Chain A
């Protein structure tokens, strides 16, 4: 199956017809809702919060934030998706904007940010005079600034390949975030990748951000350089864990993530 990102720019891909299809598919509804719940869990919020939803689309992810008592501002580049969000009378506020042009909020505005199935689009530079590197840099730097100290972002995305995933992680770290990658159902077709970021937190250790989640593989985008040529991700993790074990550090068990099913809230 070809990726939408390879077909058209997002504002054209999500036109009136596909925006409506997207929002009326019960399969998509349930997947997006699951991922939004998961992202919220990763944010560890302890009070009703002010959250930025990046690539909010028709508001499927935002509605989960609302149902959990939070207030959100969503930004999206598809007018068709936003129009459906308006029709659906979402409680969040909406902004027609391109995340690659930056997050236009003053420093320390948000408690947290989420993004569900959107940031891989940053790697599609729509015009000749803007590079992907620049878009990533602008996005992560302004996101960093817009979050309060200690604030987190949980960004679920669909990287095209390992290279793209690394590119995105590195851009986040370069902007100053402590960053980690978390995978649900790794090694399967349903794998879900979350980039978990924290502002000025723990000095760059990702396991910090996701440490109390049992049975989840934790990986560090920054250490990818150590990966041997021709080695699969799994082999590399195994090797790395083995080395850590020898060093006497605490390492996560190699438990395969046991699918965590939740009730769908619709």
Chain B
């Protein structure tokens, strides 16, 4: 599971529906995979990223601390069709790209902070099948 997905996924146990609690990784083994850099995708998704959650996830997985607050990007300049922005922004976008899209948890589990349910992850795929009484 990519860190991007982890920033949006929630526990699907019935009793957690109203709280949409965050899930945390346990026993995570990481992998890195190269993905085409798309500044426009990052610009699109950044406003939706739950920044405190991303900070927490990064910390859990042993990454260096992220900036205190979500970075603000300036509007794309005319002629900058790919949305790469200033040199500084490009560096930032590349870092986000690498963290959100190229980093994934290959095995381990996701644990719900509210109900304690554990979602096992193997071969990079999280198992979200639930026994019927929890749906």
Q: Which residues of B contact A (CB under 8 A)?
A: 1-2, 4-5, 8-12, 20, 35-36, 38, 40-41, 44-45, 48, 50, 101, 104, 123-130, 132, 135
Contacts and interface: CB of A to CB of B under 8 A. Distances in A.
Interface size class of A (residues with CB under 8 A): 35 or more
A187 interface: no
A71 B42 CA distance: 10
A39 B133 CA distance: 34
Nearest to A96: B127
Given A93-B2, A96-B125, A97-B129, A48 B12 contact: no
A106 B101 contact: no
Given A71-B4, A86-B124, A96 B129 contact: yes
A138 B17 CA distance: 11
Contacts of B130: 98, 101
A107 B48 CA distance: 10
A50 B44 CA distance: 9
B84 to A, nearest CB: 13
Contacts of A70: 41
Given A86-B123, A86-B125, A106-B10, A101 B135 contact: yes
B132 A69 contact: no
A70 B1 CA distance: 17
27 contacts: A47-B41, A48-B38, A49-B44, A50-B4, A50-B45, A50-B48, A69-B41, A71-B38, A73-B8, A75-B128, A82-B125, A91-B36, A93-B2, A95-B5, A95-B125, A95-B128, A96-B127, A96-B129, A97-B128, A101-B12, A101-B130, A106-B8, A106-B9, A109-B8, A110-B8, A129-B132, A130-B135
A127 interface: yes
Nearest to A72: B5
Most chain B C-beta atoms within 10 Å of own C-beta, residue among A49, A102, A127: A102
Contact of B38 (A69, A94, A127): A69
